[in-house]
A and B are shown apart, each in its own frame.
Chain A
Amino acid sequence: MFDLQDLYQEVIVDHNRSPRNFGKLETANHVLEGFNPLCGDRLTLYVETDGDIIRNISFDGSGCAISVASASLMTEALKGKHMDEARRLFNEFHDLLTKDNDIDLDTYGKLAALAGVRAYPSRVKCATLCWHTLNAVLQGEQTPVSTE
């Protein structure tokens, strides 16, 4: 049995209640939709890049606390980052939620708040939806991302 507090940590509840970087980004040069058809979660990611640098990033849409908080935390983590760094973070975040081996949470900063999702397999897609959408942007894809 897992403690719900591990899932709904204060950081998650806070970012769900007041998501950062929420709303349309008029200066975005990449806009991509991601959705989870199983549960209806839907978000749009707005990314403004300058060469290989993510100058600005925002999102909007609707989803559960996990998906909103994850998108909020992701946009915070990526602002100003090089795209290679974003790719590295995508892979690391994926490991955080899917791998059982020991992970040094300290290296994840605020994103570590989402580690509790690991204990809830049915919710992993909620946390990774925004990251998969980001990954598609990084790959230069144009078609909406679906987690199914």
Chain B
Amino acid sequence: MNESVAAENLKTMPLDIEQIRRDFPILHQQVNGKPLVYLDNAATAQKPHQVIETVAAYYRLDNANVHRGVHTLSQRATDAYEGAREKVKTFLNAASEQEIVFVRGATEGINLVAQSFGRESLQAGDEILITEMEHHSNIVPWQMLCEQTGATLKYVSINDAGELNLEEFDRLLTDKTRIVALVHISNALGTINPVEAIIRKAHAVGARVLLDGAQAAPHIAVDVQALDCDFYVLSGHKLFAPTGIGVLYGKQSLLESMPPYQGGGDMIKMVSMKKTLYNDLPYKFEAGTPHISGAIGLGAAIDYLNNIGLDRIQQYEHELLEYGSRVLAGIDDLTIKGTAAKKTSILSFVLKGIHPHDIGTILDNEGIAIRAGHHCAMPIMERFGLPATARASLAFYNTREEIDRLAAAIIKCREIFN
């Protein structure tokens, strides 16, 4: 067997979940006397020790400020930080490292685009098109931008399955539309949006497209050049990396035309009392000392994911979601919210007569962590006429046994309340 065949075989081999679970130290503990079942991955994912150790080793051995020191540690820190940028570039298949801006998270990435690109290029009468299934982080920055510029915000509605009404998108997309911003995969429903077609149509009317990839990046392979999106944002902490680090991808020509978002050190070439010459990309958008260890941790998380292979992860998670959907659908009085034909990793549900918070508390008592609430997507809850849902969100370290524990605990909720 030659090497490439062996590598191919490795890529199609099923995941060794036991081995993977050993990589995540946090999973091996008791919560309320029961083995932890962590099903709140859409809120934040757990970190493999490869990430934890990389961050710890950076602080133990290399910690220094980047881009300024002549000393050895500073050079090492800079190399590691820029090395992480290179990894992100490859991970997203961006054309250049200059297109990768480190930010605090997807939220900051969207705010950056709204305040820099949006404020510069929008005026009264222009329109921004988003959807009903956005996270608050992809609603509020645009509402703020509309207040500042006099532009109008429009929403594409969703159907009962939690899919975008594409005919309505076609209707709302006009030559007034300057920005289309939408979630790649919904954090509340799991819907995978048909972003390729949306981007193509948006470009045809001259609009720019931002994709919120916070929920997509941990679950499917993203290729920003194939998508042809103008901006893509993601959060490191949902991608098995530390909190406080995220990525804004932007097409180079756009980023170059945009004014800085924040002023400070590192984003300048030369400062005099009268005038400042801004730095090149991506540093123009990275004022101040960045989250160096976070970026390095994100690089380690990307290495970790690449070693497993996102294709294999996607396959495994798909089977786990199918299994979970089947098991949950078999529970009396349980309704799954979000049944899009194309979805991933999210099991949002309601139980007749039992509020999601009570479900959350009872499950916690069984050692099971889920999210109960509006998932920072109140317009979706409004759409479905619900105050909240319970949400189990999967990662590739979750198992069928954990889904069974979830189902048993949900049945216990019914026993307590019936």
Q: Which residues on A are within 8 Å of B, measured CB to CB?
A: 1-2, 4, 7-8, 13, 16-17, 38-42, 62-66, 68, 120, 122-123, 126
Contact B361 A39 (CB under 8 A): no
In angstroms, how far is the closest chain B Cβ from the Cβ of A68?
8
With A16-B417, A17-B353, A39-B374 known, 15 other A-B pairs at CB within 8 A are A4-B362, A4-B365, A8-B362, A38-B373, A39-B372, A40-B381, A40-B387, A41-B357, A42-B387, A63-B355, A64-B355, A64-B358, A65-B354, A66-B357, A123-B357
Contact A63 B387 (CB under 8 A): yes
Task: Digitize B342-378: 1 where CB-to-A-CB distance is under 8 Å, 0 elsewhere.
Answer: 0000000000011111100110010000001110001
Query: Among the interface residues B353, B373, B387, B417, which one has the most CB atoms of the partner chain A within 10 A?
Result: B387
In angstroms, how far is the closest chain B Cβ from the Cβ of A78?
23
The answer, among A2, A13, A62, for a CB contact under 8 Å with B387, is: A62
Residue of B nearest to A39 (CB): B373
Contact B357 A39 (CB under 8 A): yes
Does any Cβ of A come within 8 Å of B388's Cβ? yes
| Number of residues from B at the complex interface, CB < 8 A | 20
Residue of B nearest to A16 (CB): B417
Task: Tell me whether A40 and B378 are in contact in the complex, defined as CB-CB below 8 angstroms, given that A62-B387, A65-B354, A66-B358 are known contacts.
Answer: yes
Docked CA distance A8–B412 (Å):
12
Would you list 22 pairs from A and B whose C-beta atoms are within 8 A, ordered by A residue?
A2-B365, A7-B361, A8-B362, A8-B417, A13-B416, A13-B417, A16-B417, A39-B357, A39-B372, A39-B374, A40-B378, A40-B387, A40-B388, A42-B387, A62-B387, A63-B387, A64-B355, A64-B358, A65-B354, A65-B355, A68-B355, A123-B361
Q: Which residues of B contact A68 (CB under 8 A)?
A: 355
Docked CA distance A13–B80 (Å):
56
Q: Which residues of A contact B362 (CB under 8 A)?
A: 4, 8
Q: Which residues of B contact A40 (CB under 8 A)?
A: 373-374, 378, 381, 387-388
Within B3-35, the residues touching A (CB, 8 Å) are: 32-33
Docked CA distance A42–B355 (Å):
13
In angstroms, how far is the closest chain B Cβ from the Cβ of A128?
14
Q: Which residues on B are within 8 Å of A, measured CB to CB?
A: 32-33, 353-358, 361-362, 365, 372-374, 378, 381, 387-388, 416-417
Docked CA distance A122–B374 (Å):
16
Contact A120 B378 (CB under 8 A): no
In angstroms, how far is the closest chain B Cβ from the Cβ of A23?
18
Residue of A nearest to B355 (CB): A64
Task: Tell me whether A8 and B372 are in contact in the complex, defined as CB-CB below 8 angstroms, given that A1-B33, A39-B388, A63-B387 are known contacts.
Answer: no
In angstroms, how far is the closest chain A Cβ from the Cβ of B24?
24
Contact B358 A65 (CB under 8 A): yes
Residue of A nearest to B365 (CB): A4
In angstroms, how far is the closest chain B Cβ from the Cβ of A120?
6
The answer, among A13, A17, A64, for a CB contact under 8 Å with B357, is: A64
Q: Which residues of B contact A8 (CB under 8 A)?
A: 358, 362, 416-417
Docked CA distance A41–B357 (Å):
10
Q: Which residues of A contact B357 (CB under 8 A)?
A: 39, 41, 63-64, 66, 123, 126
The answer, among B355, B361, B387, for a CB contact under 8 Å with A120, is: B361
In angstroms, how far is the closest chain A Cβ from the Cβ of B386?
9
Docked CA distance A39–B373 (Å):
5
Q: Which residues of A contact B356 (CB under 8 A)?
A: 64
Q: Which residues of B contact A126 (CB under 8 A)?
A: 357
Q: Which residues of B contact A7 (CB under 8 A)?
A: 361
Residue of B nearest to A63 (CB): B355
Residue of B nearest to A126 (CB): B357
Residue of A nearest to B32 (CB): A1
Q: Which residues of A contact B361 (CB under 8 A)?
A: 4, 7, 120, 122-123
In angstroms, how far is the closest chain A Cβ from the Cβ of B233?
24
Docked CA distance A132–B214 (Å):
36
In angstroms, how far is the closest chain A Cβ from the Cβ of B281?
38
The answer, among B32, B354, B387, for a CB contact under 8 Å with A41, is: B387
Docked CA distance A1–B33 (Å):
7
Q: Which residues of B contact A2 (CB under 8 A)?
A: 32, 365
Docked CA distance A93–B355 (Å):
23
Residue of A nearest to B378 (CB): A40
Contact B416 A4 (CB under 8 A): yes
In angstroms, how far is the closest chain A Cβ from the Cβ of B172?
28
Docked CA distance A63–B356 (Å):
9
In angstroms, how far is the closest chain A Cβ from the Cβ of B55?
28
Q: Which residues of B contact A123 (CB under 8 A)?
A: 357, 361
Q: Which residues of B contact A64 (CB under 8 A)?
A: 355-358
Query: Among the interface residues A2, A4, A68, A120, which one has the most CB atoms of the partner chain B within 10 A?
Result: A4
In angstroms, how far is the closest chain B Cβ from the Cβ of A39?
5
Docked CA distance A68–B357 (Å):
12
Q: Which residues of B contact A42 (CB under 8 A)?
A: 387
Docked CA distance A68–B245 (Å):
39
Docked CA distance A41–B358 (Å):
12
Docked CA distance A16–B32 (Å):
25
Complex A-B, nearest 9 residue pairs according to Cβ-Cβ distance, in ascending order: A64-B357, A64-B355, A40-B387, A65-B358, A62-B387, A1-B33, A40-B374, A40-B388, A39-B373
